[in-house]
Amino acid sequence: MDEMLAGGIANAGAVRRRDGVVVRPSTPHSPTIHAFLGALRATGFTGAPEPLSLHATEEELRFVEGDVALPPYPTWAQTDDALASVARLLRRFHDASARVSAPFLAGPWSDAFGEPSPGASMICHFDVCLENVVLREGNAIALLDFDFAAPGNLLDDVASFARMCAPVDEIRHEQLGWKATDVGRRLRVILDAYQVKAPRTSRRNRRLGPCARHHHPMADQSGEFGLACERTAYACVISQSAGLAVVETFRESGSQLVRAFPLGL
């Protein structure tokens, strides 16, 4: 008998487990996703579900045993240790993706968040939230749900992850069950665990899409790091200025929010 699996938004109530197999709705991008996941496994990366088969309206993937946090997020999923573990898993995913992405850049991929950022060089996940990570004994072992995967740059993906898991995005904050936390400290946890080393000292010439018409000048003073999730429907820029993590978020509606958090050491 099939077991319904909780979680998700787009596929809520439509994902089920049949013995050791997950059966879920397929999309027009599923063939590309399955081929990409297969290529990842060929590199030795096991931090994503193994693709098994595709049908007209459904896909099958190997079930990954472990714990997945669902809203309201439990305390164990909100620890700094769990956050660092996910950041390390994301880094391993990017290392593997960089090795195999070239044949897959043409897609098709999801355009749910708009066009890819300029110079997209690899396949990114773009939806690394707690519901899409499997943990086992507190360690992140697999990323789930590649429906929104698309060409991008690794720092775009890190920024997207930080937006949802630091978290710097206050949308649905209470609904998701996030407890009051030191966002700056958690940003530092992500940067250290992922080992972000590439500085971006100026963002004046980077395209943030039509939603980001007004760019805050503090973000141009980034001396240590700069992360950006730059899609045409949404942009999130995280940069450093005078010991602060300056977070700018932009939305398609044209709204803009700029906040600064003391950056944890």
pLDDT for 14: 80
Instruction: Decide if pLDDT at 77 tops 70.
Output: yes
Instruction: Decide if pLDDT at 218 tops 70.
Output: no
Note if the bond before 167 is cis, omega within 30 degrees. yes
d(CA 22, CA 35): 17
d(CA 22, CA 37): 15
Residue 118: pLDDT band (50, 70, 90) is low
| pLDDT higher at 226 or 119 | 119
d(CA 87, CA 193): 6
Residue 22: pLDDT band (50, 70, 90) is very high
Task: Give the mean pLDDT of 111-128.
Answer: 82
d(CA 82, CA 84): 5
Task: Give the mean pLDDT of 157-173.
Answer: 82
The two beta strands, 234-241 and 226-231, are: antiparallel
Name the 3-class secondary structure at 207: coil
Locus of tokens 């098709």: 108
Instruction: Decide if pLDDT at 169 tops 80.
Output: no
49-63, 109-123, 217-231: least confident range: 217-231
Neighbours of 238 (CB within 10 A): 27
Structure-token pair, residue 156: 């775009």
pLDDT for 168: 80
Task: Give the mean pLDDT of 203-208.
Answer: 34
Amino acid at 121: S
Instruction: Decide if pLDDT at 54 tops 70.
Output: yes
Portions of the chain given CATH number 1.10.510.10: 75-262
Structure-token pair, residue 107: 């897609």
Domain at 3-62: CATH code: 3.30.200
Mean pLDDT estimate for the chain: 81
pLDDT for 153: 84
Amino acid at 54: L
d(CA 240, CA 260): 9
pTM for the model: 0.84
Note if the bond before 118 is cis, omega within 30 degrees. no
Task: Give the mean pLDDT of 76-97.
Answer: 97
pLDDT for 262: 74
**Which homologous superfamily is 75-262 in?**
Transferase(Phosphotransferase) domain 1 (1.10.510.10)
pLDDT for 234: 57
Instruction: Decide if pLDDT at 208 tops 50.
Output: no
d(CA 97, CA 240): 27
Portions of the chain given CATH number 3.30.200: 3-62
| pLDDT higher at 3 or 63 | 63
Residue 211: pLDDT band (50, 70, 90) is very low
d(CA 171, CA 253): 14
